[in-house]
Structure 1
């Protein structure tokens, strides 16, 4: 099948920085969609107390139980993973065969298509447009699903990079179409905790044709530990889990996840300052004369005309933003808010490029 080009991601790439002669310690990263007010204090305490010598609990029993309580489901419905990214690849391995058709609703995270292509699937993209507020044409999407009969339909809601949320009625329609054709709807809900106001999706274990992905790395700022989980019917969760390597979720990730989940105030107390930082950033960018798009998530899209050039110009001034060319949006960059003083540094650097 040959070597496939890896997916482009945000965050700092030390190989790239070394080639440019740039020290990562001198950069502010606005390309990663993380809660800048995390992680919770209890996470740091749990990691400090961790004995790294024993093997991790390969069944993640305590973590599964805590997540089951959070979602009011049975622990067998939950499969923790080494970040949602690992789970995307496990789903593709468990459910796809060479020649299957896969539908990806974009612009969105590149690993859905990449994981599917690695399994020999034929990937079809349904690309939403900024002129329609990045909202899909519901009848057109439904008609395409009826025509393609995809084995997997990948949908991120709230979406990365657009922040768009699809109404539960639309999701229910897509699930019904997928189930009717023997396929699966994969909902990536990794960013749902960062919404200003929670929105309903679907009952996460209600259908044997639905898989929901979640991440603790964004809302709790645990990206370096890699921790996500999926919810599905117990049978489907077990099917996906057979492809997961033993000890995939480290002791550190499990301890951090348990500490984060046991903190009842962290998300509520940081969501307000996070959105205040987003408001500050959006206003400042608009005052520079830049077209800004923001939906249900605190990060923003900024239309600069040349995302790659904008990223390079800001990188030279100590700030990293996400060039959206790999999303199919070459005129845009994505910017995640940080703390107010750091946002001011970005706005000052951006002003220098004007």
Structure 2
């Protein structure tokens, strides 16, 4: 039986019980009615995967009669981060890693720092754990205060940059959370969209209990292929691997993993990160034009998406849908409410079209 735990406000405030739909994700916004919508709801880079990656994955299909062999891909990921292969575990997307952590690790008091991707908490609850929440505050810019995390928490999960707030926490703040006997899980699914991957912990071996999760589905447009990985101490990798089924990552996904960590791919991802930053600046500047209507961007945003607060957000979201644009509702994230929307960063033309639609939606919803 799953037990609902009390929420802890970021500064140690009162119990703030909230029961959002933890299994609602952005893809639901673009498939509910089958209409052709411009997608600002899903945080996957547009116009991906690139042709060279599609061709590389397609070339692997000739090997489908053989069972998957992940050794080459695992070695490639390890080399990309300067780690021994014993510190790498390939997974069917980062989402599988959350399930493995929830099932394999023996923890007494797991804590999830919210607002963030809801799958870690959902996986922990499904595995029978009682989960405490630390809620970061809008008034504090959703910044992490390490002191807000209970000292006896033996599993702490935090995203960086955080979905949906787009906050990039300093690496020093995250490492303050490390303790002997505590597993510190840092979800870096969007870190490769940050220019220079500043504040990244991937590749660090000096932080006790550190587990870093990475996804290759966001930057490379591989959500349908399911590929990610875990970076952790060898003993943790071994525990998680025992909880995996045999051959958990398909041959095409392994081919993609190997390709996405080559020097060519890393250079392309770095270029994309700078382009995303420029496109995000344009989106944020355009949103600032609606400040008089009560539209406000949480920030500073550092990820490939922005979190926006505005009056009548639910009505605006529905009106945007009628105008052909899908955005992500915010009230399914613990710590947020109906006044929040998350917007994926898109190219200049898409952003300009969206901002025109937003102007109509805000006016008509008023």
Q: Report TM bin, short chain.
A: 0.7 to 0.9
Q: Where in structure 1 are there 5+ consecutive unaligned residues?
A: none
TM-score by length of structure 1 reads: 0.88
- Other structure's SS at 2:243 match: coil
Q: State the aligned residue count.
A: 337
Q: 2:182 is matched with which residue? A: 183
Q: 2:101 is matched with which residue? A: 91
Aligned-residue offset at 1:55: 4.8
The 1:96/1:339 distance shift into structure 2, 3 A limit, reads same
Q: 2:111 is matched with which residue? A: 103
Q: Is the 8 A contact 2:103 2:127 kept in 1?
A: yes
Find 1:166's aligned residue among 165, 169, 176.
169
Q: 1:298 is matched with which residue? A: 304
Q: 1:75 is matched with which residue? A: 85
Aligned-residue offset at 1:303: 0.9
- Other structure's SS at 1:224 match: coil
Q: 1:254 is matched with which residue? A: 254
Q: Is the 8 A contact 2:193 2:270 kept in 1?
A: no
Aligned-residue offset at 1:57: 5.0
The 1:62/1:326 distance shift into structure 2, 3 A limit, reads same
1:346 lines up with 2:354 in the alignment:
yes
The 1:332/1:38 distance shift into structure 2, 3 A limit, reads same
Whole-angstrom CA distance in 2 between matches of 1:158 and 1:304: 22
With 285-294 and 240-249 compared, the bigger mean Cα shift is at 285-294
The 1:56/1:170 distance shift into structure 2, 3 A limit, reads farther
Aligned-residue offset at 1:59: 4.5
1:311-345 Cα distance to aligned partner (Å, 9 max, x none): 22211111111101011322110101112222222
User: What do you get for the CA RMSD once the two structures are aligned?
Assistant: 2.3
Q: 1:65 is matched with which residue? A: 75
- Other structure's SS at 2:303 match: coil
Aligned ranges 1:184-203 → 2 under 5 Å: 184-202=183-201
Aligned-residue offset at 1:218: 1.2
Aligned-residue offset at 1:12: 4.2
Aligned-residue offset at 1:51: 2.0
Q: Where in structure 2 are there 5+ consecutive unaligned residues?
A: 5-20
- Other structure's SS at 1:321 match: strand
Q: 1:145 is matched with which residue? A: 150
Whole-angstrom CA distance in 1 between matches of 2:272 and 2:214: 19
TM-score by length of structure 2 reads: 0.85
1:252-309 Cα distance to aligned partner (Å, 9 max, x none): 2112222222224211222222222212211122213321223221311111134433
Q: Is the 8 A contact 2:144 2:173 kept in 1?
A: no
Q: 1:232 is matched with which residue? A: 232
The 1:57/1:77 distance shift into structure 2, 3 A limit, reads farther
Q: 2:144 is matched with which residue? A: 136
Q: Is the 8 A contact 2:185 2:211 kept in 1?
A: yes
The 1:52/1:320 distance shift into structure 2, 3 A limit, reads farther
With 74-83 and 51-60 compared, the bigger mean Cα shift is at 51-60
Whole-angstrom CA distance in 2 between matches of 1:191 and 1:47: 22
Q: Is the 8 A contact 2:216 2:227 kept in 1?
A: yes
The 1:73/1:9 distance shift into structure 2, 3 A limit, reads same
Q: Is the 8 A contact 1:96 1:116 kept in 2?
A: no
Find 1:266's aligned residue among 265, 268, 278.
268
The 1:57/1:175 distance shift into structure 2, 3 A limit, reads farther
Q: Is the 8 A contact 1:307 1:324 kept in 2?
A: no
Whole-angstrom CA distance in 2 between matches of 1:293 and 1:170: 20
Whole-angstrom CA distance in 1 between matches of 2:88 and 2:223: 20
Q: 2:127 is matched with which residue? A: 119
Q: Is the 8 A contact 1:80 1:249 kept in 2?
A: yes
